[in-house]
Amino acid sequence: MIDVVFLLLVFFMLAARFDQTAAVPIALASAGDEYSGPPRLVDVMPDGVRLNGRATSEALLAKALLVLMESPSDIVVLRARGDADVQRLVDVMGLLREQGLTALTLVE
């Protein structure tokens, strides 16, 4: 019996993977609320961001977006430009989510 117990113990010690992951929800434009209000398109480049075509500093991006929104849960559209990779997108998304803008979608 003790052998069995030790076997199970070792099995779970090896099989356990302590999760270090988190999830970033991406809004699906079709489901849920429709897009409302003025255009909120953020172009993400490896070294900067543009809001509706105008270069903006990342620090002011959330503020500039909030002006265009009725509530922080309005949809914001992100688009990867240049060689922006997923890490860069996640960084910008994290920046916006910190400011309370949680409805983010990604388009081509």
Partner 1 sequence: MMRLTEAPRSKAENIVPMINVAFLLLIFFLMAAVIAPPNPVSIDPPKGEGSPVVSGEVALFIEADGTLWKDGRAGAALGALTGANVELRSAHDLPGSVLAGVLQQVRDAGASSVNLVVARP
* Residues making contact with partner 1 (CB under 8 A): 2, 5-6, 8-9, 12-13, 15-26, 28-31, 44, 79-81, 83-91, 93-94, 97-98, 105-108
Give CA–CA dist 66/94, Å, rounded.
16
As measured in angstroms, the least distance from the Cβ of 103 to partner 1 is: 12
Q: Which is nearer to partner 1, 67 or 107 (CB)?
A: 107
Using alpha carbons, select from 103, 43, 26, 102 the residue that is nearest to residue 78: 43
Bridge pairing between strands 54-56 and 76-80: unpaired
As measured in angstroms, the least distance from the Cβ of 70 to partner 1 is: 23
Q: Which is nearer to partner 1, 45 or 66 (CB)?
A: 45
C-alpha separations of 4 from 8, 9, 74 in Å:
6, 9, 56
Q: Which is nearer to partner 1, 69 or 106 (CB)?
A: 106
